[in-house]
Amino acid sequence: MEIKSVGVIGAGQMGNGIAHVMALAGYDVVLNDISEDSLKAAVARIDKNMERQVSRELITLEAKSDAMGRIKTTLAQPEVGQTDLIVEAATENEEVKYKIFEGLIPHIQPHTILTSNTSSISITRLASRTDRPEKFMGFHFMNPVPLMKLVELIRGIATDDETYQACLAIVNRLDKTAASAEDFPAFIVNRILIPMINEACYTLYEGVGNVASIDAAMKLGANHPMGPLELADFIGLDTCLAIMNVLHDGLADTKYRPCPLLTKYVEAGWLGRKSKRGFYDYRGEKPVPTR
């Protein structure tokens, strides 16, 4: 089937990035959130990011203007249901995702494909709470969406080939690369990345090194563009903890036990950049390590 319109549920960092690339690729986009302020902030962020692309001559001013004109915002889920493909990009909480899909079901068209941008939750389980598990799959973009070239495509046990091929065609049209992953906890990227971050937390927790030395060691010793603790702050410590819990619960292996220090930071509300404090304090001119 040909996808012409895309609904995006959740106007946060991932949702506005997905809306950005979809609109630039020529899709009509309906961006939905429960907060009008979040929708306004998302449109402003998309406009700013596209302006940056114009200044770097990555896109033309005309392309930006056309793309911004394709983005419609709404607080009403039924409007999202009229699109050909829906990407759920809400918080990494399974119950929240269930409620979103259950609320959508009465309003979607027979041909509409449902997808989730989840970074770790079972696609088969999410699909089972809908009326179309064969037209449901994981569509996991990397952050920041406009810059990162990879999209993980995850089939649930019931996902049909037509749905997979339709999503693969979208990835190609976005000029990104698809990595097909099996439906196991955290898929490919986060199955490898988040335990590394968790191990960095243990290295800090056990006093092997402080925040600055751990990040410097991995940047200079392993040629990583960001240190693992800096990256954790960028992702969000609550998201890192949620993924570690999915791995621990889903695979029942003690090597995936979340670091108690990571849990403590999340309990304190120190979630990283988005809360201005995490492994670094972002409230001043320069980030300062908190340990």
pLDDT tens figures, 204-232: 999 999 999 999 999 999 999 999 999 99
CA distance 198 to 114: 31
8 Å CB contact between 232 and 197: yes
Q: Tokens standing for 137?
A: 């799959």
Q: Tokens standing for 255?
A: 């090597």
Mean pLDDT of 132-159: 96
Alpha-helical regions (H) of the chain:
13-24, 36-55, 61-69, 77-80, 94-104, 123-127, 161-173, 189-205, 211-221, 228-235, 237-251, 260-267
Q: How many CB atoms lie within 10 A of CB 215?
A: 24
pTM for the whole thing?
0.89
Give the type of residue at 52: R
CA distance 8 to 103: 14
- pLDDT, residue 91, reads 87
CA distance 113 to 97: 16
- pLDDT, residue 2, reads 86
Q: Give the bridge partners for 39, in sequence order.
A: none
Binding site as annotated, residues for NAD(+): 10-15, 33, 92, 97, 119, 143, 274
Question: Pairing mode, if any, of strands 113-116 and 177-181?
Answer: unpaired
- Catalytically active residues are 119, 140, 152, 190
- The confidence band for 283, taking pLDDT boundaries of 50, 70 and 90, is very high
The string of pLDDT tens digits covering residues 81-133 is 999 999 999 988 899 999 999 999 999 999 999 999 998 899 999 999 999 99
3-state class (DSSP) for residue 273: helix
The string of pLDDT tens digits covering residues 15-40 is 999 999 999 999 999 999 999 999 99
Rounded CA Rg of the chain: 19
CA distance 280 to 243: 21
How far from chain centre, in Å, is Cα 170?
Answer: 17
How far from chain centre, in Å, is Cα 199?
Answer: 22
Mean pLDDT of 244-263: 96
- Answer whether residue 1 shows pLDDT above 80: no
8 Å CB contact between 199 and 217: no
| % of the chain exceeding 90 in pLDDT | 96
Query: Which domains, and CATH codes, for the chain?
Result: 5-182 (3.40.50.720), 190-289 (1.10.1040.10)
Give the type of residue at 181: A
- The confidence band for 273, taking pLDDT boundaries of 50, 70 and 90, is very high
